[in-house]
Each structure stands twice: as C-alpha cells, then as structure tokens.
Structure 1
Amino acid sequence: MPLDTDSLLARLASAFPGPALLAGDDIPARNLHDTSFLANVTPLAVLRPDTPEAVAEAVRLCAEAGVAMVPQGGLTGLAGGGHPIDGAVMISLERFNGIEEIDPASSTMTVRAGTPLEVIQKAADEAGFFIPLDLGARGSCLIGGNIGTNAGGNRVIRYGMTREMILGLEYVLPDGTLVSGLNKMLKNNAGYDLKQLFIGSEGTLGIVTRAVLRMHPKPGCVNAALCGLGSYDDVVNLLAEARRGLGPMLSAFEVMWPDYWQVVTETVGTRSPLEGKHAFYVLLETQGLDEEIDGPRFMSWIERVYEAGLLEDAAISQSLSDVQRFWDVRDACAEFMTRLGPHCAYDIGLPVTSMDAFADACRSRLVEAMPEALSVYYGHIGDGNLHIVALDRAVKEQPMDRISSIVYATVRDFRGTISAEHGIGLLKKPYLPYTRSAEELALMARIKAALDPAGLLNPGKVIDTPTGDLK
C-alpha cells in the first residue's frame, strides 16, 4: 500500500539527512521551474543525492511509496522536461558532480551526471583533448541533462549529437535498480546497446548517473569567416562547396536570416563585422591540425567561393579573438529575453532545401493571425536544425499555444520535426503526432510501460504510460 505523505517524508529524511533533502520553504526558487516559462510548481520535496547508490535509494523509496519523481539537472531545458509536478519528488543531480577519470590511452573521460558541461570542456582541454558538445548554456547545463535530451549544439555537422560521444552509461531504472555499463570501448557489440534507450529519453525511462565520454584530439587551429550572401540558393550551394572543399575540417555552418541579423545588430546592439545588408549571413568555422597548412587552405577556399560569386562579402578571422567575435553575433540570441521581452522559442528540423520556404510560410502565417507578430530565424543549418523566436508585440502576455499551433502546423506541412535538439517535455508533447507515426508512438508507449509500468518517472512528459495509474 502506498505510504502517506508524512510517512514518506519521514523515510526520506532518515535516508537523506541535512542538505540532501529540501522540503517546504527550504526548497530554493530555482527548483520550482526550468526555462520553459511554465508556472512555478512547488514539489513535495527535492532530493539531492551525491552517489549513484543514493540516487537508486531515492528512486526505490519513491517507487515503493507510489510517488512520482522528476529528475532535474541544470534546469536550462526549454520544453518542460525538468519542470516540477505537484506532489512529486524532484531528484536533483546537482550535488553529484565531478570528473572521475581521464584516460588518455582510450581518449575517454568518466563523469558524474551533475557536472556542468563547461567544467568537462575545460578538463578535456587541460588534458590536451577536446569535447565537441557546445551550447550557449554551457556554464549551467549539466551533462546528465545533455544526455537526457541528446543535446546537439554548434558542431553537430562534424561530430554529431551527444549520442555520438557516449561510450558507456550508468543509470537508475524506475524501480531503483542501478545499472552500470561504463564501457570505454569504441567497439562493443555484446548484445543490445541498452544505453541508447536512455539517451534522449528525457528522464522518462531512467535517471543517468555517470557516463563515459569519448574525447577528440584538440584542434591545432581554428579559422572562421562571417559571410554575407545574396540568396538562399547561394547558402545551399555554399554548404555543398564547404562540405566538398573543406571536408572534415568543417566544424560549424550557422545561418542567420536578415530578421535575426536586424534584431541582433539594432535591438541587442551587437557590432556587425560586415558592411552593408545582405539577404543571408553565414558563420563558417573550421578546425584543423596545423595553422601553417590549414590556415592557407581555408583562405584559398574562401577566395574560390568568392570568385565563384557565392559570397557578397566576408570577414575572415585573423585570431581566436576574431573567431569569438564572430560567434558573439550568433550567440547574441541569449540576450533576446532581456531585449525582446517574453517570447516563444522553437527548435525544429527540416530538409535544408526547405528552410527558406518554411521561414517565409511561417512568418506569413504568424502575421496573418497576429498583425504585430515578430519572428526571427537562425540555426545550425548544416545539420538541418532551424531555431525560431516569435512573439506578438501587441500584447505583453504571449499567446504561446496560438503561436505554437501555427509554427508546428507549418512544420508538419513541410514534413519536418518539431524537435531537433531540445526534447519534447511537456510543451511539445501535444504536437508529437505531427512528427511521429501512430505506430512509433505506440512503440514508445510500450517501452515506457515495460520499464515504468506504474508511470512514476517524469510522468506526463514525452509519452504517456498506457497502463497503471499515475500518483
């Protein structure tokens, strides 16, 4: 029989003394929400275990009591995956942080789930290696959340999603079973690759506790160019030329529509490295081994595509500070909340050739429904990922449901995906059928039911449990 609230809190207090358990007024405001702009929710309690075994014990106690659990990381998610649920226990990994091992021979790093991404990046750099995963929230997002959402970021075109750098994984199942598969081997085909179930599952199938990350050699040089182009056809052709002419050196291909550029340079106040206005703006980055060889190779390629008429203008980096200055233009979207006020942010995927037509259609539909609508478009176009920021300037409280219905219906019409790298969580769940077939959704539900038959782990997120009553 499920325990009553007081009995559960007493058992949790006994198992998790001191700062490991927060309840009532002791729960910090940061644990009442993530970055999805959903209303604050005060949970039953926040548990902050600091070992894998403690995470397993927390899950076991909650499962025995029939109480829902929500895993929390850095709380930087935009889809509501880490948002609290009334009456649930939050299991925060923030105290379980640190790097356990760097193995140069296998080029691996073993990390705890509560470790910030930026800490991992710096540790790899100091050891002479490189972690390619990079997000704007690098200083506050935690690697467990990155794994749970299969985060993408800026360099997917070369290195792939988070999934591509996970060799081994340890996780806790919804019944409290701790499963350790901290494999270091690049080749390991011994049975099912179970870790793939938990990467991108947003904490609905298990809670990640530790991971073995694959590191890459540190680049010997980095070069970048910020380019102005005259048409979207030129953007597509430039991408093809970059893949062909730069090969594996190409590490980023970021495209910014003129509406984004205008907001960044005029509203945010970021200084433009280019003169004049252009139909599109592209940030190219390459990572090479030797500046004396790869630097001239990059310059030669830029000259060829300029002479071919693909570029109207280009600013070329002369130093790493120039590279950072170019990225500052692309990363200025972090200032949108301050400068634009409340808005709706979207992360979608589309075939590269469809992106400009999609942007035109989406912009028109938003203005037709809301004459004062503003929408801007930008993203990691090299890997098919487009970001959208939209708002109705006529009102202060944004009509998120109305804007979302227009954006996602347009995504469906263009046969794209409603989520490229930010997950589904709560906010995108109603639109998941736009992207996944009925058969796929049914299979997801069967997997959820098999691992979490009571539906207690992050309930209501991503997919519903078809059997069992949620507590």
Structure 2
Amino acid sequence: MRDPADDSVVAALKAALGSAVLAGDDVPARNYNDWSTLPPLKPIAVVRPADEQGVATAMKICAAHGVPVVPQGGLTGLAGGATPVPGSVVISLERLTGIEEIDANSATMIVKSGTPLEVVQRAADDAGFFFALDLGARGTCTVGGNLSTNAGGNRVIRYGMMRDLVLGLEVVLPDGTLLKSLNKMIKNNAGYDLKQLFIGSEGTLGIVTRIVLRLHPRPACTSAAMCGLASFEDVLGLLASARRSLGPHLSAFEVMWPDYWSVATGRVPGVRSPLSGEHAFYVLVEAQGSDAVADPQKFESWLADCLEHGIVADVALAQSLADIKSFWATRDAASEFVQVLGPNISYDIGLSVSGMDNYARECRAELARRVPGSLALFYGHIADGNMHIVVCVRDAPQQPVSEVNAVVYDLVREHRGTVSAEHGIGVTKKSYLSYTRSPEELELMTTIKLALDPAGLLNPGKVLG
C-alpha cells in the first residue's frame, strides 16, 4: 500500500525540479545499493539535480516533509554508506560534474563533487599538475564520495589522505542551507575549520556539492620496483631504508603476503609476477622525482645497496611506464577477486606497522579454527598502517560474515587498531565502531550530528545510531 506522504514529497520535488526527479518504475536499479553486500532497497524517488541550488531545494523539500535523504556518488563504497533506507529519497550527484577552475598560481582546482576521480587526475595532468589521490575505482568513484569517506589510496605515505588534499568546499546542510566555504588558501585560521566536519562524515552531516582541491607539481619521473623479501623484519628494514634514502620522493610502499600474491599473479587474467621464485613477502616501492636523470639513478643505486646488504632477496626494476603499470596491476588485482574467487568479504583495517604480520598470523590461524575452509588474503598500504583483508569460503551457499567479522574485529580491538582505515563505517561496521572509538568520542560525534541534523534525516542509520 502506498504511503500518501511519499506521493506528497514526490509531487513537491517534481513541481520544483521537474525531470530531475525519478519515481516509481522510473527509479534506476543502480540506485538501490552500492558495492557493499547489503540487500538492494528501492527509494521512493531519485533526485538528480543539475546544480547546487537543485541539491539545496531537494534537501529543503525533504526536510519540510520529514523524509530521510541518502546522498549517492559513484556508488563504489563497500560499507553501505550510500544504500537507501526505507522511505528515503536518494539525491544523486551524478549530474554535478565538471572542472570549474584550475588556478596555477595557487595550485588549486575547483571541481563539482560528482566528477569521477580519474577525470580530476587527467585534468590536473593536462594542466601540468598532479592530483595525488589514487585508488583502484578511479574511473567510477567520485571526488565527493572520496571526500565523504576521507579516502586514502595508494600514495598516502607522501601526500596524505583526502582531507590533506582539500582546501575548501560547498555543502548543503540537512535543512537545505547552502554553505559556501570555497577557501583556496593553505593557511586560514579564521575560526573553526568547518570543512573538517564534512570530510569523512559519510554524508551524515551535509551533502558536498563543490570542492577546492590542492594540486601538486607533476612529477618529472617515476621509478618503481617489485621486491621479494624473506621476512617481515626485512619489510620493515626496507621501509626504514626507503624513508631514509628516498626521503620525500617515496610515494608508495605496498606489501603483499604470499597468499594474496598467489591469487593475484596466478589466477587473475593478465597479471603476472615479475619475480622468479617464491618469497615470504612482496613489496612494490614507488618514488616520484623532480630530476628525470638524477632521481632514477638514485633509486637504482638504493635498490642495489638493499640487494648487497641482503634486505631484499630479489628485485625487478621497472624500465618503462608499461612495467610500472604491470607492477601496479598486481596490487590492483584485488578488484578482480570476485571474478576468480566468487563472493567474498573484504576488510579495511588500520594497525601499527610493526604489528601487522603478527596480526596476519593470528587472524589466519583463528579463521582456520573458527571458520573451516576459509581462505584469507592479506595486503595493503603498510607504510601508512593500512591493511586490507579478503576472506572467502569457496562454494559456501552464503558467506559467514558474522563469524569472520568476529575474528577480524576482535583481533583489531586486541591490537588497538581501527576497524576502518579508509573505507568508512557506513552500515556494515557501525556495530564495531566502539572497538575503535571511546565512549567520550562517540558521545561527541552524536552531539555534532544532533546539532547539524536534529531530525536525523540525512543518511540516517549510517556511522552512528
């Protein structure tokens, strides 16, 4: 039976925004869920505003009708942050796309929040700059979604998280107010830094419509190597040596355990190992330099020294851009695991760097004991404390999510880590947030949410509550 209130809000939205509103049978199936494994749910309407005023109008109408709103970007989230809730209206930012300005003097870019990350990367490159955020879903994810989850990706060790790449923003508040704070200055201590409220808040405090991004100089050269190592102690030794010898040029340090490596290079089509033999750990090291002659020589000299001193057992040095892409394909292969392994459960945790291998050993052993037949793969941006885990039970009628969650997150709590390093909390990790945050922190988060969204209409049920 249809709810008359649903018809009322849809009628008001259509009257104000016309064809930007899709309802009933016109609601696209893609808006029913994101990349999480949560079941799809049809919203009462999808609004696709063409500009920020359209977003504000839609939010204001929904607030007046007491109807919950769920913002959606590229729908690549894994924690359910963009999944509709019962009786909700989805505000999709898919039409808010485009680069509005590149300011070479301030090294900034103003971009609409629905713009895909890869479009931003290319625009920066065309202008002689470099936008540092990078992740496997670059062609589909949007910069607004990246901001909302405070995405990290492959080069956090050098450039930081998404919040380090944002100088200003424009955001629609839960009552429909349009807040413009398009700051382009690196130094601005005039009162509270309001943008930080919205970065990483997963659309629960506001809907971001424009972003001022910080750009960096385009690297003159990129060097990369794939290393095989005999122990985790050697991995830590290699990281310390890379930081010491490569300094600020070190841009990525990706570690892959052998269980991950065997699937990535042995089963994913088009991905091959550049190393001979088997190793206890595989490390992709990347450095970006400003001198196309001296910096690659320095990188190669550093690798030779690591070989000579036995820190690495084997190494493949990239000789071309194609080699670099081939090396990164081993790390990006995780996005194809569903094709070769079937349904699986993925995790995004944070730990102290020195304790990561101990965690992996304990987690693997505990999964074998409590979830018979499980396969666990470990990899991640180890230098910045971020480990990813993929777990699956082959041929199981349904993946044992609860049992695996208990193992993974109980150990995270024991190791004093975080249940989410870069993918957000959404719905799927909400019950484990207290493993990472203190009661006082959770109370303050709730206070902030109530202050900005007292009716609890914006992305309800996500992160908190």
TM range (shorter): over 0.9
Aligned to 1:379: 380
Alignment of 1:166-177 (within 5 A): 166-177=166-177
In structure 1, what is the equivalent of residue 210 of structure 2?
210
Equivalent in the alignment of 2:257: 257
Q: CA deviation at 1:265?
A: 1.9
Provide the residue aligned with 1:179 in structure 2.
Answer: 179
Residues matched between the structures, number: 462
Match of 1:292 in 2: 293
**RMSD of Structure 2 on Structure 1 (CA):** 1.0
Give the CA deviation at 1:267. 2.1
Q: Which residue of 2 aligns with 1:119?
A: 119
What one-letter code is carried by the residue in structure 2 that aligns with 1:253?
Answer: F
Give the superposition deviation at 1:257.
0.1
Query: What is the CA deviation profile of residues 117-158 of structure 1, one whole-angstrom value per residue up to 9, with x for unaligned ones?
Result: 000000000000000000100000011000000000000000
The residue identity in structure 2 corresponding to 1:263 is: V
* Counterparts of 1:35 and 1:44, CA distance in 2: 20
Match of 1:451? 452
Provide the rounded CA distance (Å) in 2 between the counterparts of 1:135 and 1:124: 16
**SS of 1:179 mapped into structure 2:** strand
> Structure 2 counterpart of 1:120, which letter?
V
Describe the SS at the equivalent of 2:298.
Answer: helix
* Matching residue's letter, 1:353: S
Give secondary structure in 1 for the equivalent of 2:376: strand
Partners in 2 of 1:405 and 1:268 — Cα distance? 29
Per the alignment, residue 467 of structure 1 pairs with none
Shift of residue 6 of structure 1? Answer: 1.5
**Cα separation, 1, equivalents of 2:395 and 2:146:** 35
Answer with 425-434 or 44-53: which moved more: 44-53
Partner of 2:306: 305
Question: Which residue is 1:16 aligned to?
Answer: 17
Conservation of the 8 A alpha-carbon contact between 2:223 and 2:288: yes
Secondary structure of 2:210's partner?
strand
Contact 1:3–1:65 (8 Å) recurs in 2: no
Q: Give 1:289's aligned amino acid.
A: S
How far does the alpha carbon of each residue in 1:60-84 deviate from its partner, in whole angstroms, 9 at most, with x for none?
0000000000000000000000011
Aligned counterpart, 2:248: 248
Instruction: For 2:95 and 2:4, locate their aligned partners in 1 and report how far apart those are by CA, in whole Å.
Output: 27
The 5 A counterparts of 1:371-410 are 371-393=372-394, 395-410=396-411
In 2: Cα distance, 1:411 partner to 1:391 partner: 19
Instruction: Give how far 1:268 is off.
Output: 1.7
Residue 308 of structure 1 deviates from its aligned partner by: 1.1
SS in 1 for 2:176: coil
* Amino acid in the other structure paired with 1:65: H
Alignment TM-score, normalising by the size of structure 2? 0.98
Q: 2:371 touches 2:404 (CA, 8 Å); kept in 1?
A: no
- Kindly indicate whether the alpha-carbon contact (under 8 Å) linking 1:3 and 1:66 is maintained by their aligned counterparts in 2: no
Query: By how many angstroms is 1:243 displaced?
Result: 0.4
Equivalent residue number for residue 142 of structure 2: 142
Query: Which amino acid in the other structure matches residue 21 of structure 1?
Result: V
Deviation of 1:394 (Å) = 5.2
Instruction: Report the 3-state secondary structure (helix = DSSP H, G, I; strand = E; otherwise coil) of the residue aligned with 1:268.
Output: coil
1:374 is displaced (CA, Å) by 0.3
Check the 8 A contact 2:147/2:163 in 1, yes or no: yes
| Structure 2 partner of 1:43 | 43
- In structure 1, C-alpha distance between the alignment counterparts of 2:406 and 2:66, rounded to whole Å: 35
Q: Deviations over 1:17-61 (max 9, x none)?
A: 11x111111111110110001111001100011111111111000
Task: State the one-letter code of the partner of 1:179.
Answer: L
SS at match of 1:17: helix
Range 154-163 or range 391-400, more displaced:
391-400
Alignment of 1:409-448 (within 5 A): 409-448=410-449
Trace 1:360-371 onto structure 2 (pairs within 5 A): 360-371=361-372
Whole-angstrom CA distance in 1 between matches of 2:332 and 2:274: 14
- Note the alpha carbon deviations across 1:402-431, whole angstroms, 9 max, x for none: 211211111111110000000000000000
1:316 — aligned with what?
317
Correspondence for 2:191: 191
Counterparts of 1:207 and 1:287 in 2: how far apart (Å)?
34
Percent same amino acid at aligned positions? 61
For the residues of structure 2 that align with 1:332 and 1:9, how far apart are their CA atoms? 42
Name whichever of 48-57 and 275-284 sits farther off.
48-57
Say if 2:90 is the partner of 1:87. Answer: no
| Maintained 8 Å contact 1:265/1:272 | yes
Instruction: Please name the residue that 1:326 is paired with.
Output: 327
| Equivalent position amino acid for 1:177 in 2 | T
Give the Cα separation in 2 of the matches to 1:221 and 1:396: 49
1:396 Cα deviation from its structure 2 partner: 2.9
Deviating above 3 A after TM superposition, structure 1's stretches of 4 or more consecutive aligned residues are none
* SS of residue paired to 1:388: strand
8 Å Cα contact 2:121/2:130 also seen in 1: yes
Matched, 1:227 2:227: yes
Query: What is the identity, as a one-letter code, of the residue corresponding to 2:359?
Result: F
Query: Where does residue 163 of structure 1 map in the other structure?
Result: 163
- Residue in 2 that maps onto 1:338: 339
1:276 aligned to 2:304?
no
Question: What does residue 63 of structure 2 align with?
Answer: 63
Distance in 2 of aligned mates of 1:410 and 1:137: 28
Structure 2 contact 342–394 (Cα < 8 Å) conserved = no
CA distance in 1, matches of 2:342, 2:54: 40
Residues in 2 aligned to 1:323 and 1:394: alpha-carbon distance in whole angstroms: 35
1: CA distance between counterparts of 2:166 and 2:186?
Answer: 10
TM-score by length of 1: 0.97
Unaligned runs of 5+ in 1: 465-471
Contact 1:342 1:396 in 2 (8 A): no
SS of the residue corresponding to residue 291 of structure 1 reads coil
**Which residue does 1:468 correspond to in 2?**
none
Query: What amino acid does structure 2 have at the position aligned with 1:139?
Result: G
Secondary structure in structure 2 of the residue aligned to 1:244: helix
Residue 371 of structure 2 contacts residue 403 of structure 2 at CA under 8 Å; is this kept in 1? Answer: no
| Whole-angstrom CA distance in 2 between matches of 1:444 and 1:3 | 34
**Secondary structure at the counterpart of residue 347 of structure 1:** strand
Matched, 1:74 2:74: yes
Structure 2 residues not aligned, in runs of 5+? none
